[in-house]
Structure 1
Amino acid sequence: MTSDPDDDALSWDGDSDVERPTLPKGWQAVGRGSEKVESTPAVDAPHEASMSKDPAPAASAPEEDEDDEEYEGLSTGMLLALGAVGGIYLLYTIGWLIGGLRMQAGALFLIPSVMYTATLVIAVAAPVLWFAASWMLTRNSRSWVRLTALIAGVVFLVPWPFVMTGGVAA
């Protein structure tokens, strides 16, 4: 017998009439022994043709658009960093609200009530707006660019009224 010893250990007499293993639609076997596995044709025939080893069908296959690429997702480290920075922004929003409301009593005689309320709303919304703007404007950038924009907001948006008074009325 002149067969491969690995195949002899996994075969029985009469195995030749057994069906070859098949893969589900859209799957393709790769690696050693993949030629023995049958695969059902995928729905996307041009994509299947580009996956074959024959160069002729691949040349005639249409080029894929960048919009068709799958989203790879964020790394674990980036998700943890976004969670930490997002938590800081949430605390900043609360800090601006508490600090701004504590300063309301002393500021009423200097600033009209409508102007004070408008600036308080803007101050409370600033961390949320910075986070959203950083997220949307850096969505096609590298992760470190996005993280740098978010950390810049952490530095610039410190709720000074809360930090200086400690959340206690003066």
Structure 2
Amino acid sequence: MTSDSDDALSWDGDEGSARGEPVRKKPARTHSGSAAAAPSERPADDPTLPEGWNAVGRGSADVGRLRNEDEDEDERPPLSTGMLLTLGVVGGVYLLYSIGWVVGGMRLKPLANLIVADAMYMPWFVLAVAAPALWFLAVWVLTRARAGWIRVALLLLGVVLLVPWPFVTVGVIGS
């Protein structure tokens, strides 16, 4: 298969132009002879726009972009690379904590059956396994409008509080 490096720099319809010069097409004429209005020059009450939408005109930062009037103007910027990395690492730690609670809880079950019945042990076992995921979800939802350091601090607090102690004690030493 052969490839020409200039093929990547051209579009269909560029055949008539010299290389490096864009082809400029003339605007289509309507029956009245005037040029068709560009999308950025449509009036706000243009019947072709969906209800609640306005065309953004010249001089605006959003030239040519249609926007909804109901759109939230205070959209949060995307998460930074450091925050995404922190969330991934802490999320992985929480996943390992859930696995640790399963392994440690299953090893602790015979000893716990001497003290409590299965009907009492199982709900708390399930809650202990789900606690890291619930903590992560709660911190994610409740700190959406807060500073990033608050989210990280609460996630790290969960790393300290949710350590799977049955796995750490029984899992390391043995049963």
Give the TM-score band, short-chain normalised.
Answer: 0.5 to 0.7
Counting matched residue pairs gives 126
SS, match of residue 138 in structure 2: helix
**Offset, 1:41:** 4.0
Say which SS state the counterpart of residue 73 (structure 1) adopts.
Answer: coil
What is the rounded CA distance, in whole Å, between the counterparts of 1:103 and 1:93 in structure 2?
15
Local SS of the residue matching 2:77:
coil
Q: Work out which of the residue numbers 131, 138, 162 in structure 1 matches 2:136.
A: 131
Aligned counterparts of 2:130 and 2:104: Cα–Cα separation in 1: 14
Structure 1 vs Structure 2 CA RMSD: 2.9
Question: Percent identity, aligned pairs only?
Answer: 48
Instruction: Give the counterpart of 2:96 among 91, 103, 109.
Output: 91
Q: 2:125 aligns with which of 111, 120, 125?
A: 120
Aligned to 1:160: 165
Per-residue CA deviations over 1:32-65 (Å, capped at 9, x if unaligned) read xxxxxxx94427656436628xxxxxxxxxxx66
- Structure 2: 5+ residue stretches without partners: 1-22, 28-36, 41-48, 62-68
**After TM superposition, which residue ranges in structure 1, 4 or more long, deviate above 3 angstroms?**
18-22, 43-47, 68-71
More helix by share: 1
The residue correspondences of 1:54-69 to structure 2 (distance < 5 A) are: 67-69=72-74
Q: Which runs of 5+ in 1 are unaligned?
A: 1-17, 23-38, 53-63
Q: Distance in 1 between matches of 2:156 and 2:122?
A: 28
Give the aligned partner of residue 51 of structure 1.
60
Amino acid at match of 1:88: V
TM-score, normalization: structure 2? 0.62
Partner SS for 1:120: helix
Q: Are 1:102 and 1:168, in contact at CA under 8 Å, matched by a contact in 2?
A: no
Query: Please, what TM-score do these two structures have when normalized by structure 1?
Result: 0.63
SS at match of 1:103: helix
